[in-house]
Every structure is written in structure tokens, then in C-alpha cells.
Chains A and B, each alone.
Chain A
Amino acid sequence: DIQMTQSPSSLSASVGDRVTITCRASQSISSYLNWYQQKPGKAPKLLIYAASSLQSGVPSRFSGSGSGTDFTLTISCLQVEDFATYYCQQSYSTGTTFGGGTKVEIK
């Protein structure tokens, strides 16, 4: 199985900050990497697919980069509604796996 490791597991930030979350795969997954946002009591929401493609309707302050084993989700200017937990997911192999999550909290 492909293991996905996210860091940090949590972070505190202020509105307007630039936030970066990293995700590392245990083997190369090309660009088969997706990012999700989850708020308490809600299903995850797809933000980024194929490592860097912005899902329709998602604000442009969200961006993704990377390929192979190392990936990054960046929020360029954090907004109040962005405080949530973020997960990466590899879709390279059947039996998808998720990272452990990064909780973005208000400083």
C-alpha cells in the first residue's frame, strides 16, 4: 500500500496569512494526488485534483503543486472560511489512501 504522510498535523494561522501544507507519498504517484477540505460534521470537499488542477468553484487562493512523491497545497491569503482540516489523497493505485490530515486553526 502507498502511505501518504502530511505535515504539519496542525497549524495556527491568522486571516491573511499564506499557508503551506505538504504531503509525501511512500512511492512515486506521478500527479495522481488530490486535496480535500473538511469542516466539522461535513463530508470532504474536493479542492485540487491531479496535483495542481483547481476544481471548478474553488477560490483561486488555493493552489497545488508537485509530482512524484512530494506535493504541496498552498492557501495564498487565508480567509475565515478556510479554517478546516485538509487531506491529501493518492489515486495512483486501487485502494486509495489519504494523508492523516492537517487541521488549520485560528491563531
Chain B
Amino acid sequence: QVQLVESGGGLVKPGGSLRLSCAASGFTFSDYYMSWIRQAPGKGLEWVSYISSSGSTIYYADSVKGRFTISRDNAKNSLYLQMNSLRAEDTAVYYCAREGDTGLLYWGQGTLVTVSS
């Protein structure tokens, strides 16, 4: 069955960096576009970034552009999010999700990133 497992979250000081990972299994990872979506505590869902199956096409939300970098390693069935210059407003649960023609059918369980001094 399809599984997405995020890791790498934690507590970081403002201005710091963190790298999130998403390990995929149960499907041919290299066939699918992937996204990172976040949810601040008690708030709604916010799309963060998106990467094509080959990694050649990437988009970012304006709120993270220039600070976050999405990447993937199809040989390792893994998706990454490098987060630099972190701010308090980046505090959220970060989910990876598999893109598809019929919506975001598969999501990970999420990993919590807390930016605080």
C-alpha cells in the first residue's frame, strides 16, 4: 500500500535551517509529482512547494520563495524540503502529498516544525 513518511521536524531558532524528508513506498515514486503542504497550529492548509516527477519543474509559494528548496531522489524514493532562514510564521505541521489528476489522495502523517527562540 502507498505510504509517505515524513521526518526531520523539530525545534529550531529563528534564522536557522532544517531539512525535511519524505520516504515513499508502495508506488512508483518516479512517476508522480509531489508537494509539500503545511498547517500552522489551529489554522488551515497552505501549499508550500511542488516538484515534477523528474525534478525539472518546481514551484514555490511566495511565502517561502528564496528560503525553501524542494528536491527529490527518485533512486531513494525520497522527497526533501530544505528550509533556511526560518521564521516564527513557518511553525507548522509539514505534510508531503502525492499529486494526481484526482487530487491529493495520499498524504504523510506530518512532521512538526517549531521555530522559536
Write the residues of chain A forming the contact surface with B, with a CB cutoff of 8 angstroms: 34, 36, 38, 43-44, 46, 49-50, 53, 55, 87, 89, 91, 94-101
Contact = CB atoms under 8 A, between A and B. Distances in A.
A91 B47 CA distance: 11
Contact of B104 (A46, A94, A95, A97): A46
B109 A95 contact: no
Given A43-B110, A44-B45, A101-B44, A91 B59 contact: no
Contact of B44 (A91, A94, A96, A99): A99
Interface of B: 35, 44-47, 50, 59, 61, 95, 102-105, 107-110
- Most chain A beta-carbon neighbours within 10 Å: one of B35, B95, B104, B109: B104
B47 A44 contact: no
Given A43-B95, A43-B110, A44-B107, A53 B102 contact: yes
Nearest to B4: A43
B50 A87 contact: no
Contacts of A96: 35, 47, 50
B44 A87 contact: yes
A49 B103 contact: yes
Nearest to A100: B44
15 contacts: A38-B45, A43-B95, A43-B107, A46-B104, A46-B105, A49-B102, A50-B102, A53-B102, A87-B44, A91-B103, A94-B59, A95-B59, A96-B35, A99-B44, A101-B44
Contacts of A99: 44
Contacts of B107: 43-44
A98 B45 contact: yes
Contacts of A98: 44-47
Contacts of B44: 87, 98-101
A89 B103 contact: yes
Contact of B105 (A50, A55, A87, A95): A55
